[in-house]
Structures are given as structure tokens and as C-alpha cells.
Amino acid sequence: MDMAKLVDFMSNLIYPMQAIAAVYGLFLTILVFRRIAQKRFRTQAAADDFLNQVSERLQGRQFDSVAELCDSPPYWSKAVPQLILIALANRERPIAKLRQLLSETFEREVLAELDYQLSWVNTVVKTAPMLGLQGTVLGMIAAFAKIASSQRTGVDPSKLATDISFALITTAVGLMIAIPLVMFMASMQVRIGRLTDAVQHQIGRFLDELDAAQTRKR
């Protein structure tokens, strides 16, 4: 395969590869947004309503009832109810160790997964402009090859324009893929930060009430 055929072959791959990067980046973005939405309460009022129900049951030392509430359909996919189930299963531990256990579980089961998915979004952000740059290089190679092969007869400007246009379009497409994903990543990181703050606050409230319920027992 000579150089011209190789350049043509690689050029034909640029647009499909950019399309794959765009679709995969969009898929990951939707996946992360949905995952965050699953793990957090929709509103602060919804979180307060859930915690108030838990508090009422804890005051009566109805631990099994709390577990049933956390494992009910409205709550079984959310982070705080699932952490509460773990806390109830290990409630004989000291509160300090229980707090550490829940923190480690949240980081391992929720944050680590989100960070993993974000890392792939970041990979797409870096890859898309590189594919555009690859298209730019291939387009310029093709243009200069036509110039080099037509030194005596001259060069048809339309053929050069086609190669240069390809070079610029692939660069633009790469940026069009990367820029929205960068903005989506910033939004996702903000939402993950809010999720972390909310979980810490809500679990802190639950542990205080659990400690009070166990103290009444003693």
C-alpha cells in the first residue's frame, strides 16, 4: 500500500471514529447524570421527609421497620437508605467506627464508580480533539502530496480546497465534541460534590439519632 492509499484509508476512518467518540461520550454523560439522580433525593423536602420517618421509628427502637422503609421501592436505589441498612446491620459497633465504615462504603460503592465513569468522559474529551488533529494532519499531507506531484502542470485549486476543508472540518468536529463534554463534566462534578455533602449531612443526622436510641437502651 503506497502513501497516498494509506492516507486515504486513514482519512476515511476519521469521521466514523469521531462519531463513535461523540456517541460514547453522550452515553457516558447520560449514564453519570442518571446515576447521580438515582443516588440522591430529588429535593431537600423529600430527604427531610424520609429522615423524619426514620427518626420516628428510631425513637420507638423499631430497627426492623427502619430497614423495611430503606428497602422499599422509593428508597432502595438511593445512597443514604442503603448506608442506613449497613449501619443497622452493624449497629453494635461504636458510632465512630460505624461512621468510618459508612464513609468508606460510600466512597467505594458510589464515588469510585462515578469517578471511573468520569474518567472515561475525560478520555473522550481528550481523544476528540486528537482525532480532529489527526484529520488536520492527514488533510495537509494529502494537499502537499498533490502540490508535490503537480509541480510542472500546476495544481487544481479545487482539489487542494477539498483536502484543506477536510483538515479544518475534522478539527472543528473534534472541538464540537470536546467542548460540550467539558461543560457536562463540570456540571457532573458539581452534582457529585452536592451528593457527597448531602450524604454526609443526612448520615450524620441518622447516626446521632441512632446513638441516642441505643443510649436509651442502656
125, 11 contact by CB (below 8 A):
no
Averaged pLDDT of the chain: 90
Question: Is the Cα dihedral 210, 211, 216, 218 positive or negative?
Answer: positive
Query: Does residue 103 carry a pLDDT above 90?
Result: yes
Residue 17 and residue 13: Cα distance in Å, rounded? Answer: 6
pLDDT single digits (tens) 157-167: 777 788 888 88
Residue 153, C-beta contacts closer than 8 angstroms, at least 6 positions apart: none
Residue 41 and residue 53: Cα distance in Å, rounded? Answer: 15
pTM of this structure: 0.84
pLDDT single digits (tens) 23-58: 999 999 999 999 999 999 999 999 999 999 999 999
